[in-house]
Amino acid sequence: MKVLLTGQVGLDKGEFLKEVQRIAEKKGRRISFESIGSRMLQVYEGRHDDTTILNLPRGELNMCRRHVWKEITREAQAQRAEDIFIVNSHAVFRWHHGLFPAIDLDLVWELAPDVLVTLIDDVDKVVEGLEERGTGTFEMWELLAWREEEIWFTKFLRDGLSRLVKGKIEFFVLAKEHGP
């Protein structure tokens, strides 16, 4: 099974996924996950970090993102059918008071996820997460809008994929507070 997990910055999705993995392994399930953002940072290791990578020229950023998506998709397709592979990505980026996509439909189509999930949290906790990372430059309205944009765009992806495959692809909004 392949899962696409989206959500705004400040959620610490990686730690959440480690907890999901730990719980699943206790129950005898095998889960692995990869983060698009973390893999992009590996490409630019030593030159950019999570506070500067979005400052790259848009074409270069898109090329890196697409390359990483394709690598991760190959890894996901190599998994056993009974295993769960989670791809962690933003659906959209908010940067310098602008919005741009973080996912391309053709790449999601290649991944062929069975389930799409948007992880959300209370905006106050998102602010705390951003401040811990040193990226607390967003206004409250931007964070609230970003959360809605992640939900909307992920649902839009699911709706489009469902029409293309003529089948049902599940979509969930999961509150981080409810736990893995």
Architecture of domain 2-178: 3-Layer(aba) Sandwich (3.40)
Report d(CA 92, CA 46) in Å as an integer: 25
Report d(CA 86, CA 105) in Å as an integer: 17
Structure tokens that stand for 92 in this block: 């959209």
Q: The tokens 């692995």 sit on which residue?
A: 32
| pTM for the predicted model, two decimal places | 0.92
Angle between helices 140-165 and 123-133 in degrees, nearest 10: 100
For residue 34, CA distances in Å to 11, 87, 170 come to: 16, 5, 20
Q: Where in the chain are the domains?
A: 2-178
Query: Tens place of pLDDT for every residue, the chain, 180 residues?
Result: 999 999 998 888 999 999 999 999 999 999 999 999 999 999 988 888 777 778 888 899 899 999 999 999 999 999 988 899 999 999 998 877 678 889 999 999 999 999 999 999 999 889 888 888 777 678 889 889 999 999 999 999 999 999 988 888 999 999 998 877
